[in-house]
Chains A and B, each alone.
Chain A
Amino acid sequence: MYNFTYHRPATVRQAANLLAKNPEAKLLAGGHSLIPVMKLRLAQPSALIDLNQIDELAGVEVKGRSVVIGALTRHADVANSQVLQQVLPGLASVPGSIGDPQVRNRGTIGGSVANNDPNADYPAACLGLGATIVTNKRRIAADDFFTGMFSTALEENEIIVKVMFPIAKKAAYEKFKHPASGFALVGVFVAKRGSDIRVAVTGAGANGVFRVKSFEEALKKRFSPKSIEGMTIPATGMNSDIHASPEYRAHLVGVLARRALAKATARGDSDVPGAIAGM
């Protein structure tokens, strides 16, 4: 790893100022993607701005009809959040499948979303729930945020502060986990909130996370695995590597979407607390 200067700001404002002064700097959250990449010398930032001391960035809370998760909230803390398990279990199940226990103790939602790894889990949850990514400057809809593999709409000097997830009545995530890395070979997040139906896929697309409009259309009649029985998506645009062919990934999208739908509908309305029923 090349050397760098290290900064430890106490507030988001200080972090933004440091970022403005150091154009080649990178923000350091959990560091479980950035530090490995720096070890390989694939990234060589001049400075690291460590966000870990900024307490205001961590926490899970329900605000109105949304769950708000601070950018520095660790995967383990999201997975174990009782309030999240209660109001949006489909989202709570996502971070529990990331990496391993030690990685989940350090990795953060903000880091995962900002990195937009094409095999990461959180981008599917953000797109599948129609989340809003809140930065120190503005609010960005998930549909506009993920712009391609390892690319996002984030501008220079922009820092993710929190992610707001609308509480969907039915939501679930299913993932075909790569047995060694734990990353999603393919992962599908499905959600229904009123008439808004979303199917978001990670791991499969050659250009990162995407929505499956044909499935969403078919699910408008009835939000059930039966509605997309036998449906597939074309293999064009699917990722291809030593782990799986485009055809296999395309096949898994259908299989996992049906499994996720089965899970989301099995949770049923009875799981939704009275206060948020009817959404």
Chain B
Amino acid sequence: MPKVSMTVNGKPVTGDIEARTLLVQFLRENLRLTGTHVGCDTSQCGACVVHVNGVAMKSCTLLALQLEGANVLTIEGVAPSETQLHPMQEAFREHHALQCGYCTPGMIMSALDIVRRKGNELDDHTIREELDGNLCRCTGYHNIVKAIGAGAKAMAK
């Protein structure tokens, strides 16, 4: 089987995988990093968003083999330590920006990408527009938008 090597959350990883293995499968099934979710499996819902070389992408629509040598960041890799949350995670907790929690990892990875592209001062309209690729079936958008605004600000500190 083809071999793939990449860096996930700062650690070098390798795997022998079928060519058809999606990045999200590689993360969840080979590396047992199950924080990245599969919602729709059709690149619409955003539950599978991870960062590839610093840029948000949908891991259900990438082949793991395409990520040879790449730097991948998943939700498991954003917190600074075992006991501390990332400011964006903390903002989601503080603002109760999750109900069932299924979309949350993707929401947070997308939120970090919004901050990368748009900075730390985000108005609600911008956040809503930028969340085009993330669906919350609990429809908890109101608090998600609040959390991202607050989390973005907190990241500047």
Contact = CB atoms under 8 A, between A and B. Distances in A.
A36 B22 CA distance: 11
A48 B19 contact: yes
A99 B43 CA distance: 9
A194 B43 CA distance: 41
A52 B69 CA distance: 13
Given A4-B19, A31-B62, A52-B66, A106 B57 contact: yes
A270 interface: no
Contacts of B114: 101
A8 B70 CA distance: 14
A182 B132 contact: yes
Which one of A3, A5, A48, A106 has the highest number of Cβ atoms from chain B below 10 Å of its Cβ?
A106
A50 B18 CA distance: 15
A277 interface: no
24 contacts: A3-B19, A28-B63, A31-B62, A32-B61, A35-B22, A36-B42, A38-B20, A48-B63, A50-B63, A50-B66, A99-B43, A99-B133, A100-B132, A100-B134, A101-B56, A101-B117, A101-B133, A103-B43, A105-B55, A106-B61, A106-B62, A180-B44, A181-B44, A182-B132
Interface in B65-86: 65-66, 68
Given A5-B19, A101-B117, A102-B46, 19 more contacts: A4-B20, A6-B63, A8-B65, A31-B61, A31-B62, A31-B63, A32-B43, A35-B62, A36-B42, A38-B20, A39-B42, A100-B132, A100-B133, A101-B113, A102-B57, A103-B58, A105-B57, A106-B57, A106-B62
Contacts of A100: 46, 132-134
Contacts of B57: 102, 105-106
Interface of A: 1-6, 8, 28, 31-32, 35-36, 38-39, 48, 50, 52, 99-103, 105-106, 180-182
Q: 3 closest pairs, A vs B, by CB? A: A100-B133, A6-B19, A100-B132
Given A1-B20, A4-B19, A4-B20, A36 B65 contact: no
A28 B19 CA distance: 13
A182 B117 CA distance: 21
Contacts of B36: none
Given A6-B2, A99-B133, A106 B20 contact: no
Contacts of A28: 63, 66
Nearest to A53: B68
B41 interface: yes
Interface string B106-118: 0000100110010
Q: Is the interface of B mostly helix, strand, loop or mixed?
A: mixed
Interface string B1-30: 010000000000000001110100000000
B42 to A, nearest CB: 6
Nearest to B65: A6
Contacts of A103: 43, 58, 133
A180 B132 CA distance: 10
Nearest to B59: A102
B66 to A, nearest CB: 6
A148 B2 CA distance: 37
B46 A8 contact: no
A39 B132 CA distance: 23
Given A2-B20, A48-B19, A101-B110, A31 B133 contact: no
